[in-house]
Structure 1
């Protein structure tokens, strides 16, 4: 399995694209699992493809980087929360080469994947799994959430379980609350924790980190890495 981790949707940037062209091809079939919204109904229209309604902002935000790889929009399928059924979601994910997990609310994302019985389909897929922010966090067997404008307190959550040998802090910008949560998480478990800066990303092949940019190990075995 290939896991691509990032803080932002930066996949069309030249410094990223030159490394991802190995995994993303013009004939790739992509499935976007749009389950990461903070509330059950908000953002759904933002994934709209056009036709009777205007193009949704999140539809364009996710699709446009893939167009730079020569991918036809018809090769991108969308699993929409409360619009797709569990059966249609499983089929779309199974038919894809790349599973894209958008940013948003990671713990809600995980709960909706459970609701749709998608965990085993994703875990057994041996596909490319990628996505920014929440789409990175939810790939782990568990993850921490730092206090910020969306979350009033630190918390832990279960994840899909594609990765488990380390953890990450996305959107790292040296905020005090991030440093506090990193320290707290390091005391909870000894596994290494990496920080991914806004332009950063990591490529994982079969659980091993093979490339990283602006992403570095921050804690290991409860100690700050110097």
Structure 2
């Protein structure tokens, strides 16, 4: 499995293209797991279609266009629909893909829907490239934190998929007091590196034991404890 953590919707941007084209190929098949939407935005199939349906979905074009630049035809991109796909169909689409795309939104709700569809083992067994934007990046971590924002009023830790275990992410980093306080809390409580990805200008590639930082990623490391 190759893990690509994104803080930009346009992963075909010039600062990423040359690095990512070694992982994204014209013949690849893509599965989009569109499970990260907010409950206030989607409560039925019509709402889901308004966001993700081919051609006229609000997010459709921005999510598909980067794949096209890498030469992947539109008919190679399959969407997993919470309202119309069965659990077995969702698993089949994932197993048949070379690339799994995890969109942004609410990471905790995405994990809940993944478990509702019994997809955890299917995701952990996936051998291709996992591209995750924002929430889709966070859930690739065994544990992730969220600093306070409009969706999450308080700092909190959540469990993701037990894939990446050695670091934490601060997504959409703008250097705000709330974000910096959250980072310092993680450094103190978890004693692991925090990668802060600047909004729309950062990505991280994990290829085996190699971690490659692309664009603007700030690295925060825990202080060594002094032994007296």
Instruction: State TM-score, norm by structure 2.
Output: 0.91
State whether residues 195 and 215 of structure 1, in contact with CA within 8 Å, keep that contact through their aligned partners in structure 2: yes
Larger displacement relative to structure 2 (76-85 or 211-220): 211-220
Correspondence for 1:208:
210
Shift of 1:24: 0.6
- CA-atom RMSD, angstroms? 1.6
Whether the 8 Å contact between 1:30 and 1:76 is mirrored in structure 2 is yes
Distance across 1 between alignment mates of 2:170 and 2:25: 29
Q: Residue in 1 aligned with 2:8?
A: 8
Cα deviation 1:47-94 (Å, max 9, x = unaligned): 1114xxxx1021111101111111111100101223211101000000
1:48·1:59 contact (CA, 8 Å) conserved in 2?
yes
How far apart in 1 are the matches of 2:133 and 2:48? Answer: 18
**Contact 1:63–1:73 (Cα < 8 Å) also in 2:** yes
User: Cα distance 1:177–1:90, how it changes in 2: closer, same or farther (>3 A)?
Assistant: same
> 1:123, CA displacement in angstroms?
1.1
Structure 1 stretches lacking a partner, 5+ long: none
CA apart distance, 1:207 = 4.3
Give the secondary structure class of the aligned counterpart of 1:57.
Answer: coil
Q: Secondary structure at the match of 2:136?
A: helix
C-alpha spacing 1:162/1:221, structure 2 compared with 1 (3 Å):
farther
SS at structure 2 position matched to 1:212: strand
The answer for the alignment partner of 1:217 in structure 2 is 219
The alpha carbon displacement at 1:162 in A equals 1.5
Equivalence for 1:145: 146
TM-score normalized by the length of structure 1 = 0.92
- Give 2:185's aligned residue: 184
> CA offsets, 1:158-185, max 9 Å, x none?
1012211111101001011101111122
Give the Cα–Cα distance (whole angstroms) in 2 for the partners of residues 85 and 167 of structure 1.
Answer: 33
Instruction: Compare 40-49 and 5-14 and name the one that shifted more.
Output: 40-49
